[in-house]
Amino acid sequence: MDMLWPSSLLFLGLVPALIAAYIWILRRRRRFAVRFSSLSIVKAAVGKQSRWRRHLPFALFLLALSSLVVAAGRPVAVVSVPAGRTTIVLAMDLSRSMCSTDIAPNRLEAAKDAARAFVEQQGPTTQIAIVAFAGLAELIQPPTNDQEMLGDAIDSLIPGRRTAIGSAILKSIDTVAEIDPGVAPSVSSSAADTAPAVAEGAYAPDIIVVLTDGVSNSGPEPLDAAQQAATRGLRVYTIGYGTADNQSPMDCGDGFFSGGFGGPGFGGGFGGGGFRRGIDEETLKQVSSMTGGEYYSATSARELQDVFNNLPTHLITRHETTELSVFFVALGTLIVALALGLAWWWNPFG
């Protein structure tokens, strides 16, 4: 159970305060009570009423108050139900390092083959979108279940310059937001993000898959973009792609797009900065962890194919958030009614 307004629970501090006030009143009444000369007369006046009858109504009142305070905190429960339709946004790195031939015939062509096989495995209720990123991120193919269109989009991918992982995540968020009214579009800065956060453990029935062989060196920070995805309940699965042979020849034929997706310089994946295989695995792991996804590593075409096969596309569920405030209000009301009824029954004349 999670709370949408957890600050309301501060009012539970009233409970010990009321207990202290109750004890003070009892002692004050005892101090000014009429003094009887005989203890037997006191017992006869009080009767056989036990202490628990005397204090139970007040205890029930405190329990009812606690229940109403919890209701004010807007408790919610997250329920998983099968998703009738889901969207998978596949964001593929097209930096120049994808021309590396350490994975034959080169990283990009091997990635295309794996992506096409992945598309062919999906059922008619799964929509896939293709986002390509280098120095910028662009939506190449909007969400569709038309496998021929998706195949053509994958075939059209050519490498550019630089690596903008954060831009790829934000573009993927916007792609989902276009077709899912429950997902807010991204904003230019996480600090300006006013999208309401989903309850902890609640996820949209859509996922983002980011495949990269490098280090983000353009656009917004990947972790800032991941925070926006997490706020919207979008899981991001990251794939670190490539071998440790960063000196292997590069060959993308005539397909290299010299204009790239923005700015001078070449894309990530050249092994700088002390990153193993030229991949910022630590950041990719943090991105997936923040959003409820998972990080995968692939050092060959076969491993990449296995990664795509292991993506949880067949188990995607829709997480519905059910507010439980009404149940706590009802419980508090019933307890109050019980306390009043017992107080009247045991002390009909006050």
> Domain residues of the chain, as ranges?
2-78+324-346, 84-315
| Least confident segment among 34-48, 182-196, 239-253 | 34-48
Residue 166: pLDDT over 90? yes
Q: Please state, rounded to an integer, the average pLDDT across all residues of the chain.
A: 80
Closest CA to 332 of 60, 8, 18: 60
Tell me the Ramachandran region of residue 271: left when phi exceeds 0, alpha when psi lies from -120 to 50, beta otherwise: left
Does residue 60 carry a pLDDT above 60?
yes
> In this structure, which amino acid lies at residue 110?
A
Indicate the pTM of the whole model: 0.66
Question: What CA–CA distance (Å, rounded) separates 165 from 239?
Answer: 12
Pairwise pLDDT comparison (319 vs 229), residue with the higher score? 229
pLDDT tens digit string along 114-123? 999 999 998 8
Q: Does the structure show a pLDDT above 50 at 212?
A: yes
CATH code of 84-315, in short, is 3.40.50.410
Return d(Cα 346, Cα 167) in angstroms, integer.
70
CB atoms under 10 Å from CB of 327, counted, come to: 15
Q: Are 81 and 315 contacting, i.e. CB atoms less than 8 angstroms apart? A: no
Q: What is residue 80's predicted lDDT score, i.e. its pLDDT?
A: 58
Mean of pLDDT values over 56-76? 78
Higher pLDDT, 200 or 244: 244
pLDDT at residue 241 greater than cutoff 90: yes
